[in-house]
Amino acid sequence: MFQDAIEEFWEWWAEVRTEVATQVRDGALSDDLIDDIGDRVWRIHPELEWQLTGGIDATNSLNLVSGGTRLLRLIAELWRRMGPAADAEWEHHPARLPFGLTPFEMGGTEIDPSEGRFTAKWDELYERLDLTISHPAFVELTDDEARDAAIHLLDGTLGEDAVERWMGILETSTDAGAGSPLFTLRSDIDGMAAAATGESWQRADDQYDGVVVARVNRAVKWIDHISKPIYGELTITALASDDDGLPVPLEQKRIDASVAALGAALGDHAVFIGMATGEGEHTVHFFCEPGDAVEEALRVWREQEDNRDITIELIPDEQWTNAEQWD
């Protein structure tokens, strides 16, 4: 369904892209062209939005906007992949690009971004930035409107994907003097992102009944792994366990070595999100890319572990709903 509408969009876009570029260069799109673009995007999905901006490398950029909804972001990603390659005139992005700090209206109140400020605290475990966005106009808004306005300010400063990737807890405030100007947030994010690893493991034993040793990778982010829509559970039966059902120390070392070899075999084709050991088993939870590369890596690795009882289950999970068990 999505594919047909996307194919139709790109066929239509090939016919109108030059006219769109001309009208952008002249200063404004006609109402008819705005309606046409909106209608074509609506046919892909009625909740998708669109944006025209200057490009990063090209003169112009056409972008789809998902508003933080994973399904819509996946559709936008498919739209981009099915579209033409970028050229000097046009590039295409599956998320809103930074659009600057221009005034806008929320709940009937005008928001001047130049009055916005922020305070931030880096969460080392989740590798995200907990933010408080302050603006004097928030006093005129409901809590939901203030949050929507804060997200709009962040989208304008960072772009939609960067907000999804780096924003942790978001709070709002009416204290106009608190924190730093919004335009400095980009440099703060860039500095902290440079130190992020995507690997930050935490014990999570309390999420299970019985005697279980569990760990979860709190720093892994769906937005960085859109190309991995397959959820996997790989379970290794321990060859020797203690009375609590946990592998004896030497056996646990062997299992750890096997899991390390698995990670090396899968490489960038997969990401581990959690592990649990109990009841005589060790289970690895991961997301991976579809296709032959993963299947071959798993086959070769399993042949090297032919003395063990191993089960592998792979299921489609584009929105990573199976990761919610670790929240």
Helices 70-82 and 2-26: angle between axes, nearest 10 degrees: 80
Instruction: Give me the sign of the Cα torsion angle 128, 267, 74, 40.
Output: positive
Q: Is the pTM of this model over 0.85?
A: yes
How is residue 148 written in tokens?
């929507």
Per-residue pLDDT of the chain in tens (327 residues, 90 and over written 9): 789 999 999 999 999 999 999 999 998 999 999 999 999 999 999 999 999 999 999 999 999 999 889 999 999 999 999 999 999 999 999 999 998 888 999 999 999 999 999 999 999 999 999 999 999 999 999 999 999 999 999 999 999 999 999 999 999 999 877 899 999 999 989 988 888 999 999 998 776 677 788 999 999 999 999 999 999 999 999 999 999 999 999 999 999 999 999 999 999 999 999 999 999 999 999 999 999 999 999 999 999 987 889 999 999 999 999 999 887
Strands (E), the chain: 49-54, 60-65, 90-93, 104-106, 109-111, 117-123, 128-134, 167-173, 180-181, 201-203, 213-217, 230-237, 270-278, 281-288, 310-316
Q: What is the DSSP string of 12-40?
A: HHHHHHHHHHHHHHHT---HHHHHHHHHH
Instruction: Give me the sign of the Cα torsion angle 318, 323, 324, 327.
Output: negative
C-alpha to C-alpha distance for 72 and 214, rounded to whole angstroms: 32
Distance from first CA to last CA of the chain, Å, rounded?
32
Structural domains of the chain sorted by starting position, each given as residue range(s) with its CATH number in brackets: 2-93 (no CATH), 104-193 (3.30.300), 201-326 (3.30.70)
Length reported for the chain? 327
